[in-house]
Structure 1
């Protein structure tokens, strides 16, 4: 229950914002209580603002009520910057606008755009944003700028601080400043002269103090994000230039970033990388100065424990496992505009590093698979190393930097420090060119003894970095909460006093993200520690990094994969401690909808997760645990009599189509929506794309054809049941019949497996938690297909990608060759057909299983054979998720919310490889979507 002052805030805010944007429900506030750090704070209120006006109103109201407020985008921050126990303002889903000008030389982004997406938008111009953090495909522009995130190739020259053009800000009282607008600057100076005056005063004070000036200058010769950006006062002289650069790296403690304009950087077309192996980390560090003077774009250090975390990956080089315990790798990249320049740079690098002995030879590669693996392995090191920790422990990452000439000595000192405190799993990796090392290790926070061990380690680490090597306690991950107690120790009393003044200038009431960066509590880094109790083996290795969230269809509707894991862990914790039975009961009740019902279980989260955590498998396990003996008995009946279910389904769909024809679409939609509401959402939701039933059962060929080639065709239970939607041409065949027509045109005799009307891949069962029943159906299908293919003599065609994916996942060592629709069309059918009437334009949608199978490029190849122009829809999952588009239609609506604007007006139809997805796409895009087989049949007539 909200305390009075928050209840008053919520009431006042409710006069301005819709209720659904003001979140106080415990299951959602707890879900938002995490970022990628090892801290947890559950907000009282989460406010999802959709535009600047809403942000201004929320910020102003918090200021008036003197309530702390924290700003958040993706929540991938590693030091606790994006969490609060007060008001959390979230600016993500409706903050995707951008403007690219001057032929890509400058780009303005709202804070909710993912960094990787920004680079996709800039790619046609041959440009990109400067920052390139390892989390770039999850982190959003707001957080990238607020934390001054850098990364592998950008160093310090191309970070947000050095590529900032202008910024638009909302201050504590709702005042807006756009530094690109002269009028806005003038109005701000009139309204807040005290801010401008104080900035000028600090600038003059630093400029007149040569000792302080040189101290600041020296501190920024290496990477440094500890505290506020004091370098702004020596790099710039005009107050507004200083002000906007102070915002970079301020971690949301000074103002809200509404937009940011970057000076973009060149995105070189040609790239190559290599892995250099060295006997020890000391030897590798000795090579870094040589590489610094060569034409490299990045040099990444990976110690032996880092290598161990990725050596079992399928694409990992075999020599990884044979490296000595002291070994160290340097991942080195060169970039160029031409192939000749690239090869020249490779030779220069090889020549430069020749004085330092390596373990074996090294070769640069531009091979897409090898190149992608090298960088994927490096970018995912935090989650992959974190996944190796013991269940119940927390993954800690620290981020320090040293002068380059001290890197080798400092690296050895760090290893000795970890050995002293018996952190045997500690990993060192980082950006060697900048002397920047990331330290990852697991920590048990369950006892006072273990917490004190961590406290002692931190105290010695701070002393080592600050006093022994004069380094930075934070190089790029932000000060956050875990280094806030040590900012003064690194900077000294005088510089720290200036930081206190900066905070006071912009936050006089100390309510903007309090506790972050500036904190007088010397033990704040030991408080509000995140619990990670054992929940389920599939998700126990999750470190809550948030990489998965941008790939989840339900994120923004209910919960993301990370948030589902957070709720699972909180339920497990409450069950173990029994300290809040009321909350536990509430979470369990609401988890049914937020965790289970609205999870598409599509597995796309695993594609983004460096350790391949498929939260869908976890949710299926949750579903399975809820099943009763009666549920299993009913499921077994349908396993044995699936043909009866498809028969009933076929005639039910025909009955519904009859009503649709009589009532009309509008009345039908209105009536079905009302009936669903009366039934308390138990009845499925009808939509305009609802198909009728198929015309007939499968009829095997009576006599052998004269075709020389044979193919086994397995029509899915969906396509045996669902026929055409109303927007199909009346002359068109049901898909199962059209495929036979197409196969015969290609010269194939079609063979059906015996008992086809009762066969199924098992997905309708396993997706609902009936794992054994799903396996039973899948095994029966394998047996039938093996017989039909004459023990593997003939190929087998699946007509839906999800069915093929499910079967292939469970039977990848089968004795026959089976095909997804895309592979079959491209490799088998099209070579036997002639495209006689290609289309001008088509739109395609790669469904989830296509993405997981890695067939997106092949789908594009198929489409390019059939049309002069191809549009690929940019979306993760359509959210139909089997039958959930009918039972939880809001998931499908949420997943397709951006489709309409992606489909050009000139394009009349879309194509895919999943019947249920096509229904959902049609319903919410106002364009008919059909199987890709319809397109192939049309263009090869």
Structure 2
């Protein structure tokens, strides 16, 4: 029995046939996107499942033409290929030990059709982005999986992923309008194009003929025909969507519906058109708490008859996983051990509609008593928590598991009348096999339950226990309740051995015929969905060694990836953790020093140096894992005594360092003025190249040095006073060349603005030596970072006379760093956005609003929830405001100078978002503004400049 990959893995040369494939592909595809580096193969080949296979080649395709070339060549050379988008799949359907073809970046095109009634999407668009596109039309796509922020259209369709509200009526199968696919030989079929269908019929008449034969064979078998109809009345993604052969007559209608839920085993989906559904304007939800899971399940059939949009079941163990969340209701922790919660959603286009639906629901469920009264809420905070808690349950329950164990999720469905009985049977199975942490939750209206538990795969006895669990689960679902072994997560490797058990011989033979028809050479995602190996679900199990308590709870779900600036350039947070685990495994095994050394060497750049450490990953992670903190911890552990001594020297001589910085910037600025953009860029670029990239990258927006702040108070005698802490960055960096001719540097502009607002400005004592510590802590030098922060805290306490006056930070990142660690809560600190809104805009009048501006919320603004406040502030100053949609800009402190490719990658979509007539952009971080200016062709500067201009 294979527990994990062999620890004898070595860096061997690519097999000859794969090398030949790579050589041929390089004629049509950029060789940089034909990946064979071991670190990247492991990182890019990982999905959210508990299986691990390492591909031999990862091909990042950027167009349909490239996809056709990969599919055609792998077919000709008899090499298996697997198609992949985001890799949030849970059952092992997105991994391979052969060729992995990834279609994410550059697969973002979409078209709104029929005034929003349809939307055409490429596979690399996330479900949430699709809904953003449709929002102006009051529409959305039907599927709404919990992973919608990370899962991409290719995977959503290929797994027939459903979710909370879509049930069986609005999933991909029911809402698909058309599809464009690439077959095993490179043939393209577009079901929306009559010419394409005719050409396909001429080229592959055998497929059309066999589809018709399959349809007719099922119709001739009345028992099978009725079984298929019955089994798809509840959620079911076990095996192929053979209901297509029952529901449709036309071969092309059958083909496009067979592709839904096929898990990439029949063809590659290059685009898909959905019939959209109404996105109701008003929403409310309630938490109905019942004494037992049986009582909750008794209420489900009643709710099924009521006007609800969703009913989510959460057992007591599920609630326990989120009861310590800061936004959780206090009563969560006091619920009895037998309690069960139903999260009930209602929607409507009018408020009155919502109110009437609530009346109807209360009347229908009144026979089943709840532990306490329930309230339907539309309060944004409460509503958001209820659904955030439910959508993140997989990871939050998984976050409670013991380090080294795997978070397992099984996904089953039962006939709704027998849901309570099924819950009891499942809990009995958990108890018998001692899965004491197992939790039940799911989509009650569809009889769909998710079973989450922790599993240790490190010993044969534990693997055997899991085998017994799977056998027992199959017995309960199939033999006792005739339910679905997979309801919405796809069959994958995990349930492939049980497909025939659920469906029976006749239906299984139909599925084999479908696979043989579309994949005659058995090369497309082999081993998934159809697999003769009865133990495949127990093989190639993913090792999860202990690494660091910050990341050990990660289950590699991939929810974090949409927020990561380096995803697509080097590694995402999930992939950094994958690599860290592999390094830990190799160190523990000690038998493959060559692989270990190569991993350590490559991870320095891919994992460490190109991590922005912005912490945005934690915003999407259900268990709040901040991979940036982990990387900072890594940097700290790797920092030698010399680095710590240098940090201490800089910290002790901050005034002299910032003074030298001002001088240096002025020298560079003078050279720029003399030489001009082109010549200065060429010389600076050449020097950087010669230095091996040790000299920071120069760009035309590099500022001149700032003027030293020499006074301790400004505008004395005013009733209102403020302590102003200018960051060391703004004390060093002055104006960039793109600033207006009459502009002052930010520190002087801030002073001028505050004086006009009627403030006496107090500067902390020893200002030029003060720093929030971010410059040190971001590099892992946390001792010096903590010392400088404590020093600043004391200075601000004294300057504010023990918290008597508010304290203004002029950069959001400095504010966030300080807020995250300071201890004296008597002092009142303010981010630049909040301070302007609360204290300054109330005293000034906007006289000359701008026509249009762009604003960019930096990472710290996102983390403290100030995005909409920034937008509001800009709206006060401009008739039209464009909020730039991006994650971290990639400048990441000084990384924009030292690893400029990170900043370039982060700003790759910036230019297209700037309105044609927009000349200026605004933000709240000086270094970020430098990078934004370089890649937008407009000038970005502090929001303070905008406020000052329009209120003069």
> Is there any run of 5+ residues in structure 1 with no aligned partner, and where?
none
Distance in 1 (alpha carbons) for counterparts of 2:704 and 2:605: 29
Distance 1:213 1:813, change over 3 A: farther
Distance in 2 (alpha carbons) for counterparts of 1:563 and 1:595: 8
Equivalent runs, 1:274-353 vs 2, <5 Å: 274-353=286-365
Answer yes or no: is the 8 Å Cα contact 2:921–2:940 preserved in 1. Answer: yes
Answer yes or no: is the 8 Å Cα contact 1:700–1:751 preserved in 2. Answer: no
Answer yes or no: is the 8 Å Cα contact 2:712–2:764 preserved in 1. Answer: no
Distance 1:276 1:720, change over 3 A: same
Distance 1:747 1:487, change over 3 A: same
Counterpart selection for 2:800 from 789, 798, 819 = 789
Deviations 1:884-930 (A, max 9, x none): 00000000000000011100111100000000000000011111100
1:743 aligns with 2:742: no
Deviations 1:284-308 (A, max 9, x none): 0010000000000000000000000
Q: Give the match for residue 479 of structure 1.
A: 491
Counterpart selection for 1:441 from 453, 459, 467 = 453
Q: Give the match for residue 827 of structure 1.
A: 838
Instruction: Give the TM-score normalised by structure 2.
Output: 0.98
Note the C-alpha offset of 1:730.
2.4
1:633 aligns with 2:621: no
Distance in 2 (alpha carbons) for counterparts of 1:716 and 1:369: 33
Counterpart selection for 1:271 from 280, 283, 291 = 283
Note the C-alpha offset of 1:33.
2.6
Note the C-alpha offset of 1:702.
6.5
SS class of match (2:493): coil
Counterpart selection for 1:93 from 83, 105, 109 = 105
Distance 1:807 1:347, change over 3 A: same
Distance in 1 (alpha carbons) for counterparts of 2:686 and 2:522: 50
Q: Give the match for residue 919 of structure 1.
A: 930
Distance in 1 (alpha carbons) for counterparts of 2:370 and 2:824: 40
SS class of match (2:881): strand
Answer yes or no: is the 8 Å Cα contact 2:714–2:762 preserved in 1. Answer: no
Counterpart selection for 1:234 from 246, 250, 255 = 246
Distance 1:702 1:37, change over 3 A: closer
Equivalent runs, 1:397-476 vs 2, <5 Å: 397-476=409-488
Distance in 2 (alpha carbons) for counterparts of 1:812 and 1:271: 40
Counterpart selection for 2:773 from 762, 776, 798 = 762
Answer yes or no: is the 8 Å Cα contact 2:111–2:121 preserved in 1. Answer: yes
Deviations 1:677-697 (A, max 9, x none): 111111111011111111x21
Deviations 1:380-423 (A, max 9, x none): 00000001000000011000000001100000000000100000
SS class of match (2:492): coil
Distance in 1 (alpha carbons) for counterparts of 2:197 and 2:80: 27
> Is there any run of 5+ residues in structure 2 with no aligned partner, and where?
1-12
1:872 aligns with 2:867: no
SS class of match (1:228): coil
Counterpart selection for 1:909 from 911, 915, 920 = 920
Answer yes or no: is the 8 Å Cα contact 2:713–2:760 preserved in 1. Answer: no
Answer yes or no: is the 8 Å Cα contact 1:720–1:736 preserved in 2. Answer: yes
Report which stretch shifted further, 670-679 or 820-829: 670-679
Distance in 2 (alpha carbons) for counterparts of 1:419 and 1:703: 71
Answer yes or no: is the 8 Å Cα contact 2:890–2:902 preserved in 1. Answer: yes
SS class of match (1:62): helix
Note the C-alpha offset of 1:155.
0.2
Answer yes or no: is the 8 Å Cα contact 2:714–2:760 preserved in 1. Answer: no
Distance in 2 (alpha carbons) for counterparts of 1:619 and 1:65: 42
Deviations 1:405-446 (A, max 9, x none): 110000000000010000000010000000000000000000
Note the C-alpha offset of 1:49.
0.5
Distance in 2 (alpha carbons) for counterparts of 1:503 and 1:306: 38
Equivalent runs, 1:528-543 vs 2, <5 Å: 528-543=540-555
Note the C-alpha offset of 1:375.
0.2
Q: Give the match for residue 37 of structure 2.
A: 25
Answer yes or no: is the 8 Å Cα contact 2:715–2:759 preserved in 1. Answer: no
Counterpart selection for 1:664 from 668, 676, 686 = 676
Distance in 1 (alpha carbons) for counterparts of 2:460 and 2:701: 60
Q: Supply the RMSD in Å over aligned alpha carbons.
A: 0.8
Q: Give the match for residue 610 of structure 2.
A: 598
Note the C-alpha offset of 1:579.
3.0
Q: Give the match for residue 18 of structure 2.
A: 6
Note the C-alpha offset of 1:814.
2.1
Q: Give the match for residue 508 of structure 1.
A: 520
Question: How many corresponding residue pairs?
Answer: 940
Answer yes or no: is the 8 Å Cα contact 2:715–2:761 preserved in 1. Answer: no
Q: Give the match for residue 836 of structure 1.
A: 847
Distance in 1 (alpha carbons) for counterparts of 2:863 and 2:485: 40
Distance in 2 (alpha carbons) for counterparts of 1:434 and 1:704: 68
Answer yes or no: is the 8 Å Cα contact 1:96–1:110 preserved in 2. Answer: yes
Distance in 2 (alpha carbons) for counterparts of 1:840 and 1:731: 20
Equivalent runs, 1:369-388 vs 2, <5 Å: 369-388=381-400
Note the C-alpha offset of 1:706.
3.0
Counterpart selection for 1:262 from 271, 274, 288 = 274
Note the C-alpha offset of 1:703.
7.6
Answer yes or no: is the 8 Å Cα contact 2:793–2:824 preserved in 1. Answer: no
Q: Give the match for residue 10 of structure 2.
A: none
Note the C-alpha offset of 1:813.
4.7
1:251 aligns with 2:254: no
Answer yes or no: is the 8 Å Cα contact 1:707–1:749 preserved in 2. Answer: yes
Counterpart selection for 2:151 from 139, 157, 160 = 139
Distance 1:813 1:512, change over 3 A: farther
Equivalent runs, 1:181-220 vs 2, <5 Å: 181-220=193-232
Counterpart selection for 1:354 from 358, 361, 366 = 366
Distance in 2 (alpha carbons) for counterparts of 1:65 and 1:385: 44
Q: Give the match for residue 585 of structure 1.
A: 597
Instruction: Give the TM-score normalised by structure 1.
Output: 0.99
Note the C-alpha offset of 1:267.
0.2
Distance in 1 (alpha carbons) for counterparts of 2:846 and 2:929: 24
Answer yes or no: is the 8 Å Cα contact 2:112–2:119 preserved in 1. Answer: yes
Q: Give the match for residue 935 of structure 1.
A: 946
Distance in 1 (alpha carbons) for counterparts of 2:275 and 2:512: 30
Distance in 1 (alpha carbons) for counterparts of 2:67 and 2:34: 12
Deviations 1:26-54 (A, max 9, x none): 11001023211100111100000001011
Distance 1:802 1:476, change over 3 A: same
SS class of match (2:528): coil
Note the C-alpha offset of 1:812.
5.8
Deviations 1:834-883 (A, max 9, x none): 11111111110000000000001111110110011110001111100000
SS class of match (1:481): helix
Answer yes or no: is the 8 Å Cα contact 1:63–1:172 preserved in 2. Answer: yes
Q: Give the match for residue 893 of structure 2.
A: 882
1:55 aligns with 2:57: no
Distance in 1 (alpha carbons) for counterparts of 2:292 and 2:713: 72
SS class of match (1:437): strand
Answer yes or no: is the 8 Å Cα contact 2:712–2:765 preserved in 1. Answer: no
Answer yes or no: is the 8 Å Cα contact 1:232–1:245 preserved in 2. Answer: yes
SS class of match (1:585): helix
Distance in 2 (alpha carbons) for counterparts of 1:637 and 1:442: 48
Counterpart selection for 1:154 from 166, 178, 181 = 166
Answer yes or no: is the 8 Å Cα contact 2:184–2:267 preserved in 1. Answer: yes
Distance in 1 (alpha carbons) for counterparts of 2:838 and 2:713: 28
SS class of match (1:17): coil
SS class of match (2:58): strand
